[in-house]
Amino acid sequence: MDADEKKKVQQKNRESIRNLNLYWMYEMVNSSQQLREKMAFFWHNHFACRNLNVFYQQGLLDVLRRNALGSFGTMLKEVSKTAAMLNFLNNQQNRKDHPNENFAREVMELFTLGRGNYTERDIKEAARAFTGWTANLRGDFVFRKFQHDAGNKTVLGRTGDFDGEDILNILLEEKQTATYITRKLYKFLVNEKADETKVKWLAERFHKNNYEISKLLEDIFTSEWFYDEKNIGVQIKSPVELLAGIQRMLPMKFEKDEALLLTQRALGQVLFYPPNVAGWPGGKTWIDSSTLMLRMRIPQLLSDRDDFNVKPKDDDDQMMGRMNNDDPKAKAAAGLKRTGKPILVHIDWKLYVKHFEATQREELLKKINGNLLQVKNNVSEDLIKQYSDQTGRENFIKTATLQVMSTPEYQLC
């Protein structure tokens, strides 16, 4: 292809990834399998990958969603053979006598053992084992045996004529892998401050159960400590979780899907565009002086058709070096910097209000708080009522809901 043809293909891929983003957001909001989607979202960050080939990205997402509640071992092996990950981590450049260590390093540091639980020698030897692992243009995994180093390697104390599959099995044998995954999942589901005693107990069972994710989740969700007060409402919702949650609570349809993408960008989390191979750090990094105010304004923006005049973050790393070219997202972001754009949303208020048919008028605010918040609302009921429309039952439910969603407590889960 010439330069113009390549440019058109790249634009088509970016548009397709945009559509994949919207499709997955729709599934997060509307799917009856909420736990699967939430876990797929977790694995999307764990196996962070950026690739402008939409077929490669779609293939990786399929692996994550199919295995989200299944075997971590199976998912690790399938992810490691996807064209998206092999290309993102440069393993197509990993050949006999010219090893590229990037793929082996990230598999150990980010996917299994965690930093500090291996040596540089382990990485060099593991990289030799992954030589010849690549994918064709269709995205199918290909093992090129003539590019593979068939010599003996020593990794984590084991020696043999290992290939990539052998290395992954060795990593899964290590209890440290179970501990690393369990701690990360504990921070995602329970509390950013991991209780190491509980992590150790969960990890031992996770390893013993052959890395069955559903059994680990069962151990977490059926434990009494999961419902301790110290573990309730202590997580800051990620932007994607916040946006999906609002849409699940208030049935709505965006007039222009671009608004949803731009909101992701402004809040600092765009699906399929992690900042780097380590993914989004999460926690308090979601909150700064600009994003906090925007997060608390979103319910009002959606309802009042207010101007979306917040400048998206200039994160060229996240934009993959496309800040100054004619990428559609970069153009849209630049447009927002110049003028505000309204978020046009159609909310099905009748369907929402119907949930409160059996609730007495004096109990409405209490019921709304209970539906929306994980923790007690520190904003007084009188203040919420003061800024709510009390001219009628339906108007009060609508406006009080938006006021509660605009409190700091709604940012927590």
Task: Based on the fold, state whether residues 360 and 405 are members of the same structural domain.
Answer: yes
Residues 206 and 88 in one domain: no
Residues 47 and 196 in one domain: no
Same domain flag for 25 and 151: yes
For 69-89, write each residue's pLDDT tens digit.
Answer: 999 999 999 999 999 999 999
The per-residue pLDDT for 332 is 44
Of 231, 248, 279, the position where a domain reaches its end is 231
Say if 281 falls within a structural domain: no
Q: What is the pLDDT of residues 181-205, one digit of tens each?
A: 999 999 999 999 999 999 999 999 9
| Domain final residue pick, 173, 199, 223 | 173
Same domain, 111 and 192: no
Indicate whether 32 and 97 sit together in one domain.
yes
Give pTM, 2 decimals.
Answer: 0.91
- Asked whether 213 and 39 are in contact (CB, 8 A), the reply is yes
For residue 176, pLDDT over 80 is answered with: yes
Pairing of strands 158-160, 153-155: antiparallel
Q: Does 46 share its domain with 76?
A: yes
Token output for 351? 């369907």
> Does residue 205 share a domain with residue 113?
no
- Pick from 7-16, 113-122, 208-217: least confident: 7-16
What mean pLDDT value characterizes the chain? 91
If you average pLDDT over residues 357-366, what whole number do you get? 95
Answer yes or no: do 167 and 184 share one domain.
Answer: no
- pLDDT: which is higher, 117 or 311: 117
User: Are 57 and 122 within one domain?
Assistant: yes
Question: Which neighbouring-strand residues pair with 71?
Answer: 212
Token output for 94: 């990993």
User: In 3-state terms, what secondary structure has residue 412?
Assistant: strand
User: For 227-277, how does the pLDDT look when each residue is reduced to its tens digit (9 = 90+)?
Assistant: 999 999 999 999 999 999 999 999 999 888 888 999 999 999 999 999 999
How confident is residue 400, by pLDDT bands cut at 50, 70 and 90? very high
Q: Is residue 46 part of a domain?
A: yes
pLDDT at 340: 52
User: 10 Å Cβ neighbour count for 390?
Assistant: 12
Residues 321, 52: contact at Cβ < 8 Å? no
Q: Does residue 248 form part of some domain?
A: no
The reply to whether 388 and 374 lie within a common domain is yes
Residue 355, domain extent:
349-411
Q: What is the pLDDT of residue 276?
A: 95
Q: Is residue 308 pLDDT above 80, yes or no? A: no
Q: Does residue 48 lie within any of the structural domains?
A: yes
**Angstrom distances, CA of residue 366 to CA of 148, 251, 280, 361, 398:** 65, 21, 35, 10, 14
Domain C-terminal end among 231, 248, 277: 231
Rounded to an integer, the average pLDDT of 347-364 is 94
| Same domain as 182, residue 86 | no
Q: Domain total for the chain?
A: 3
Q: Establish if 4 belongs to a structural domain.
A: no
Q: Would 77 be classed as within a structural domain?
A: yes
List Cβ neighbours of 4 (8 Å cut-off, separation of 6 or more). none
**Residue 385 included in any domain:** yes
- Domain assignment present for 244: no
Q: What does the pLDDT look like over 16-67, one tens digit per residue? A: 999 999 999 999 999 999 999 999 999 999 999 999 999 999 999 999 999 9
Closest CA to 259 of 330, 314, 318, 336: 336
